[in-house]
Amino acid sequence: MMAMKRTLIFMFSMVVLASLSFTSYAQESIIPNGKIPVEIVKYVKKYFPDNSIFKVVKDREILSTTYEVDLQGNIELEFDGDFQITDIKADSKLPDQVIPKKILAYVHTNYPNVGITDWELDGRYQAVELENDLDIVFDLDGRFVKIDD
């Protein structure tokens, strides 16, 4: 019985130590303007030419890296470690060019005159938020899935 108790305490201690080492690895660092990855700079110049980069934060976790980009005009972008855009948030309508074509067509057809203010790509879905605060979920191919409450 005592040996089992020691084994359980040892196992619990190892789990705690492992989780502490994983959480302590997460590192955020601000990237100076001259060192911003060229892929991010090109994306911003192409789709948000009137909004300069205010701040870029590189967030390194154990298994992933993301880049959080704040633009002037209260626009937030997030890129994965391969510099693929995964999240766009703004206070006003996003440029049509940053929204996948199937999703844009669905929104224009079903919600004419309502702009998209947020777009997010997750491992299993895409989602948009409209100016009227409606959240719509799509699959990775851009097909409508549901209205999210």
Domain membership of residue 70 (yes or no) is yes
Name the band, by pLDDT with cuts 50, 70 and 90, for residue 144: very high
- Report, as an integer, the average pLDDT of 88-106: 97
Domain of 129, in residue numbers: 26-148
Domain membership of residue 73 (yes or no) is yes
What is the DSSP secondary-structure string of the chain?
A: -HHHHHHHHHHHHHHHHHHHHHHHH-EEEEPPGGGS-HHHHHHHHHH-TTS-EEEEEEEE-SS-EEEEEEETTTEEEEEETT--EEEEE-SSPPPGGGS-HHHHHHHHHHSTT--EEEEEE-SS-EEEEETTS-EEEE-TTS-EEEEE-
Can you give the pLDDT at residue 48? Answer: 98
Name the band, by pLDDT with cuts 50, 70 and 90, for residue 94: very high
Domain membership of residue 132 (yes or no) is yes
CATH number of the structural domain spanning residue 137: 3.40.1420.30
pLDDT single digits (tens) 1-59: 555 445 445 444 444 444 444 444 568 889 998 999 999 999 999 999 999 999 999 99
Domain membership of residue 9 (yes or no) is no
Domain membership of residue 35 (yes or no) is yes
Domain membership of residue 3 (yes or no) is no
Domain membership of residue 11 (yes or no) is no
Domain membership of residue 10 (yes or no) is no
Q: How many domains does the chain contain in total?
A: 1
pLDDT single digits (tens) 63-88: 899 999 999 999 999 999 999 999 99
* pLDDT, mean over the chain: 87
Compare 145 and 7 and report the one with higher pLDDT: 145
